[in-house]
Amino acid sequence: PLYGLRVNQDPFGLVVYRQRGGQVLLNTTVAPLFFADQFLQISTSLPSHFISGLGEHLTPLVLDTAWTKVTLWNRDMAPMPQVNLYGSHPFYLGMEDDGSAHGVFLLNSNAMDVLLQPSPALTWRTTGGILDFYIFLGPDPKSVVRQYLDVVGFPFMPPYWGLGFHLCRWGYSSTDITRQVVANMTAARMPLDVQWNDLDYADAKRDFTFNKERFKDYPEMVQDFHRRGLRYIMIVDPGISSSGPPGTYRPYDEGLRRGVFIRNATGQPLIGRVWPGPTAFPDFTNPETHEWWHDMVKGFHDQVPFDGMWIDMNEPSNFVEGSQDGCPTNSLEQPPYVPGVFGGRLQAGTICASSQQYLSSHYNLHSLYGLTQAIASHKLWGFGAASAPSPPTLCFPPSQRLLCGLHTPGALCAPSAEVLLFNLFGVPLVGADVCGFAGDTSEELCVRWMQLGAFYPFMRNHNDHGARPQEPYAFSPAAQAAMRNVLRLRYSLLPFLYTLFHRAHSAGDTVARPLFLEFPKDPNTWAVDRQLLWGGGLLVTPVLEAGKTKVSGYFPAGTWYSLAG
């Protein structure tokens, strides 16, 4: 075997080491094991200070082992440091002094803290489940990622059009405005493959409806886009409006009849509050919910022939704490140990932990909610032509809203690291909102972000309502020329990018990868997160700071050629 295992009985502990060379990868004898109801803790030494992973957090590629605490519990939260964000990935990749690599995955969906210590060491502290560890021996980092994906699954294969330029904002408030955006892109000679709408299209912000005044020609608009060679995607949130009179809103009426909603302590649908007002939350661990979801999606697609759904708000997000009626007092709502979640309570920004789902309590399933919705949505591909939406593919962009993008001096740097991390997690179709989401952008920032975003695997410009326009045509002729050039460069590389996605889908490769994946024997590459590679050979060194026209980067040993000639 490639590894050896020593078991210590009293006190209990495990040591996993490489047979060749004896490098210890896991040593849980460094601290006691705690295994109690609602509190499990296990610690291990680490072979080096190089640890990457443990998302989703706003972190560099390499985590700081000086008493960093990473909390995993999905939260709809504008990105900021030291805060649990949209997704949970309890996996880390560690480098060893000789350039070898290993990985550790804890298959556990409960709320948890991971504490990094300078010795170096790491402590897992979770509030339930079991300690189900997978150790990946590599021995190189690319093999570690592939072995991890053998466990969690290879990425899906996006359609070719999904790799083009996407344009969206919250505030395209009518079909007239949305059509004008597309016309403006055409007039500016800007490539565009996919036009999106945020919640503006929906009637009273309810799923599977459209506003019959401002979007009265909505189906015709989408058909017109198709005739022009464009694809169309709109947002769909999981929260289903519950406030209408019986018989007036089919998704809720049918959901009640078929018992698809998450239930509170009294067995009634838990009612929270999101954009439409009072809402119930579908339980995607229930097989019946998958059938109901299919029926709702198909019914809407029969009216509006969309090409993809943007499944959002599925942490799940809730604008009231727990429910409109609060949460009961019990050990799930007030556990003996609460990880460092933003808000200090498990129900902060989401639904009650003790609410009941088909498989278990929400306490155990919370961080799987987005995944289970994505599974139900992906199943729509598999239905026969008589019952399925007609496009050959439905594109579901990453459910986790990676770093919505804030207009700050560091706005470009953080997304670069997170794009690399999500490729390690097996989510290669990823990218921040190009030019940023919250607040007003500047021309320089938007040009630089377009130049960086052209090398995001998933490239979408998205903007908040009320912020200044940031479509490519909204800037000066010089800025437009720079954006047009970099978009054309991206499009010239799409066959290469599509090939990388096929490799990811079929063989577990990464698409946008950190340098250390290709050059693990060069320690200078290990912490580089302001550059990225497409595949093994296209090195991107973007400008990430204001006022700069030159940039420094690291070029590993080899012969490098400029793509620009």
Q: How many residues does the chain have?
A: 565
Contacts 24+ apart (CB under 8 A), 2-7: 2/137, 3/135, 3/137
Give the Cα separation of 217 and 304 in Å (integer): 10
Query: Which is the catalytic residue, given 315, 433, 471, 509?
Result: 315
Check if the beta carbon of residue 284 is closer than 8 Å to that of residue 292: no
Give the Cα separation of 425 and 399 in Å (integer): 14
For residue 303, the surrounding DSSP H or E stretch is helix 287-303
Contacts of 269 (CB under 8 A, 6+ apart): 242, 256, 261, 262, 263, 280
Give the Cα separation of 6 and 28 in Å (integer): 11
Give the Cα separation of 193 and 160 in Å (integer): 10
Tokens of 352: 């009650």
Helix segments in 395-543, DSSP class H: 413-424, 443-453, 477-492, 494-507, 515-518
Check if the beta carbon of residue 200 is closer than 8 Å to that of residue 177: no
On the CB side of 219, CA atoms within 13 Å amount to 9
Characterise 138 by phi-psi region: left (phi > 0), alpha (psi -120 to 50), beta (else): left
Q: Which DSSP symbol is given to 261? A: B
Active-site residue flag, 96: no
Residue 448 backbone dihedrals phi, psi, to 5 degrees: -65, -35
Give the Cα separation of 518 and 525 in Å (integer): 9
Q: What residue ranges in 258-391 does DSSP mark as E strands? A: 271-274, 277-280, 308-311
In whole angstroms, how far apart are CA 458 and each of 235, 327, 427, 468, 503? 16, 39, 11, 23, 16
Give the Cα separation of 278 and 244 in Å (integer): 9
Tokens of 77: 């939260």
In whole angstroms, how far apart are CA 363 and each of 126, 277, 331, 354? 12, 24, 10, 6
Which residue type does 99 have? G
Tell me which residue has tokens 């309590």: 361
Residue 374 backbone dihedrals phi, psi, to 5 degrees: -65, -40
Handedness of CA 473, 478, 479, 484 (dihedral sign): positive
Contacts of 64 (CB under 8 A, 6+ apart): 116
- β 121-126/69-72 pair status: unpaired
Which residue type does 457 have? P
What SS3 state is found at 389? coil
Query: Which is the catalytic residue, given 76, 113, 307, 312?
Result: 312
Active-site residue flag, 312: yes
For residue 121, the surrounding DSSP H or E stretch is strand 121-126
Residues recognised as catalytic: 312, 315
